[in-house]
Chain A
Amino acid sequence: TQLLEQSPQFLSIQEGENLTVYCNSSSVFSSLQWYRQEPGEGPVLLVTVVTGGEVKKLKRLTFQFGDARKDSSLHITAAQTGDTGLYLCAGADNQGGKLIFGQGTELSVKP
């Protein structure tokens, strides 16, 4: 069974601080996706990384895919209160269409 370990599960920081969320697995994925979910809504895709070592930036968010395509990280620079939410990583299995999600990171950014 493929697993994605996401850490930390909870993160409470002050506005302006930086943070990193990690997603680790012993399995290789064809791609790694990051989603953000707000209360009462479905997750929304932020980014997909496909190539080992790939780095993608989305304003203050930086996403990285490990060289071996087994792990990924999400770094937020100068967090804002609007970044508050649940962040989920998901690994895509290119063999048959399964998608494996991490447990999620509940981020709270305080003013």
Chain B
Amino acid sequence: EAQVTQNPRYLITVTGKKLTVTCSQNMNHEYMSWYRQDPGLGLRQIYYSMNVEVTDKGDVPEGYKVSRKEKRNFPLILESPSPNQTSLYFCASSFIGGGISYNEQFFGPGTRLTVL
């Protein structure tokens, strides 16, 4: 089954404790991206990657790191989480072989993060 998986699905942590949210896709998609969703703000792009070893900042990259060492995986790293990073996080992937114009996102189920 074609899917994007995220782990963990729920996480409660404390300020300053480094954490990693994993994301994996089995569709051989070139493009992967991380978003955060907050009430009234919609989805905001954190980082995206057009291919292995190629990453770029989205609109809200501060406080986050990513890496793309393999095509299927795109982990999101919070080196020193703070309460304002409490949010619902989504990983997504897309096939851009036909051109970046489409970039139709296939989303994971989300990770709800609470930073105390």
Query: Which A positions have Cβ atoms within 8 angstroms of B?
Result: 1, 6, 9, 30-31, 33, 35, 40-45, 48, 50, 88, 90, 92, 94, 96-104
Cβ of B40 and Cβ of A103 under 8 Å apart? yes
Q: Are B106 and A9 within 8 A (Cβ)?
A: no
Query: How many A-B pairs with Cβ below 8 Å?
Result: 78
Chain B residues within 8 Å of A, Cβ to Cβ: 4, 31, 33, 35, 40-45, 48, 50, 56, 58-59, 90, 92, 96, 99-110
Q: Which residue of B lies closest to A45 (CB)?
A: B104
B42 near A41: Cβ-Cβ < 8 Å = no
* Min C-beta distance of B71 to chain A, whole Å: 16
**Residues of the A chain whose Cβ atoms lie less than 8 Å from the Cβ of B31:** 97
Inter-chain contacts of A92 with B (CB < 8 A): 100-103
Contact A42 B45 (CB under 8 A): no
How far is A50 from B101 in the complex, measured between Cα atoms in Å? 8
Q: When A97-B56, A99-B45 are in contact, do A42 and B101 touch as well, CB less than 8 Å?
A: no
